[in-house]
Amino acid sequence: MQQMSKISQKSSTMLLPSSKHILAILILVTIFTTSVHACGPGRGIGGPRKNRKLTPLVFKQHVPNMSENTLGASGLNEGRINRDDAKFKDLVPNYNRDIIFKDEEGTGADRVMTQRCKDKLNTLAVSVMNQWPGIRLRVTESWDEDKSHRNESLHYEGRAVDITTSDRDRTKYGMLARLAVEAGFDWVYYESRAHIHCSVKSDSTQTNHMSGCFTGESTVSTSTGERKTMSQLQVGDEVLSMTADGNTVYSEVILFLDRDIERIQEFVKIQTDGGAILKVTPQHLVMVWNPTKKLMKFVFADQIEEGDYVLVNRFGTLEPQKVVHLSAILGKGVVAPLTREGTIIVDSVAASCYAVIDSQMMAHWTFAPYRLLATMHHWFGETNSVQNGVHWYARALFSIKDTVLPSSWMYH
């Protein structure tokens, strides 16, 4: 009997790669079939039209229209970085020859920045040369070690740059700001007549955009009446979730999109006037309720604002509670369970199981083949072990997202 059991286990293991191949084909066929229907009017697949007209920013305008140090823009400052700090080794020099660095201090400080800032700056440099042949991008200020900015300035962390064009033609600065927005800077400000200010999110918030997660200590309610932490949750557990019409239901966990109970990650902490607290990564989708229009909508966690309403479970009924405080925190453990319903109620707050893609319906639809596979495994008595890291199916979807989905649907 033991030998038969070993053979059975081996056969089950050998079937898995075959299942992966079948699912990979299903993913490609179904998603590319969907993309055919996006060929009509509008942007469709492949991002914005190349010939679309860009509108210059006006003096004192900033994009997005919120404070620089908010989660929806460049985020909170994480502390000043000095040359003798351990964090200084995470900053990188930029030696791009298509960029002029003022370097009035003579220390090379204007070339020092985070990797994300460097990437966006190099992209902008190309856009400037394309927009104005013979003109180059000029950086007047980057990382600041002379304490010449306000205390909370992102210049102290290498996350901000002040820029002009090489010819210092101020009539170009409005368009330069627009090009910076298009290059992907997280906050752009036409700050003064002399320069444009740009900044980016911390590199620590950009480490994993393949999925969105809850903290390992976040809790869910199970169908057995037990309350489990995310780190204790297993495939097959039935947890409290939300139906499409806003009712509560218990739904089976079929996989973990991501799971690493040791990883340290930045989370958005959402607090309501009823005392509910949800901790979730910035790119995760959370249900928001519009009391005026009586509509529910999933939005990225870092786009939620104070005054918005989230749905909170009270004795089996979801009721709206006002968000009264938002903050960024570091937490241990990242866990992203996927239920059959595609939703989950965590620490009493209704949220999606999905992240990165700004469409609950599309995200849920792309996992339909795996839900079918999970059902087949259930029929044949097979179980899925809990993996460490991003699940292979989620990784496969992520690898083709840029090819088949508009960039406006994605978290940046």
**Per-residue confidence (pLDDT) for residue 82, from 0 to 100:** 92
Cα gap 111→101, rounded to integer Å: 7
**Per-residue confidence (pLDDT) for residue 388, from 0 to 100:** 76
Query: What are the boundaries of each domain within the chain?
Result: 62-205, 214-409
Topology alike, domains 62-205 and 214-409: no
Residue with tokens 């901790």: 279
**Per-residue confidence (pLDDT) for residue 36, from 0 to 100:** 32
**Per-residue confidence (pLDDT) for residue 283, from 0 to 100:** 86
Helix (H, G, I), strand (E, B) or coil at 351: strand
Q: Judge contact between 346 and 219, C-beta under 8 A.
A: yes
Per-residue pLDDT of the chain (412 residues; tens, 9 = 90+): 333 333 333 333 333 444 444 444 444 444 433 333 333 333 332 334 345 689 999 999 999 999 898 777 888 788 899 999 988 998 999 999 999 999 887 889 999 999 999 999 999 999 999 999 999 999 999 999 888 888 889 999 999 999 999 999 999 999 999 999 999 999 999 999 999 999 999 886 655 445 578 999 999 999 999 999 999 999 999 999 999 989 999 999 999 999 998 887 778 899 999 999 999 988 899 999 988 888 899 999 988 989 999 999 999 899 999 999 988 787 889 999 999 999 999 999 999 999 878 888 888 888 888 888 777 665 544 455 666 778 887 777 766 655 544 454 445 5
Q: Judge contact between 253 and 337, C-beta under 8 A.
A: yes
Q: Judge contact between 238 and 226, C-beta under 8 A.
A: no
Burial (CB count within 10 angstroms: exposed 0-12, middle 13-18, buried 19+), residue 383: exposed
Q: Report which of 268, 381, 284, 286 is spatially closest to residue 327, judged by C-alpha positions.
A: 268
Residue 219: what are its φ and ψ, rounded to 5°? -120, 155
- What are the start-end ranges of the H helices in 91-146? 115-131
Q: Tell whether the torsion through CA atoms of 25, 31, 32 and 37 is positive or negative.
A: positive
**CATH superfamily assigned to domain 214-409:** Hedgehog/Intein (Hint) domain (2.170.16.10)
Cα gap 187→171, rounded to integer Å: 21
Cβ neighbours for 104, distance < 8 A, ≥ 6 positions apart: 110
In CATH, the number for domain 62-205 is 3.30.1380.10
Angstrom distances, CA of residue 60 to CA of 15, 40, 177, 201, 301: 61, 37, 11, 21, 27
**Per-residue confidence (pLDDT) for residue 62, from 0 to 100:** 96
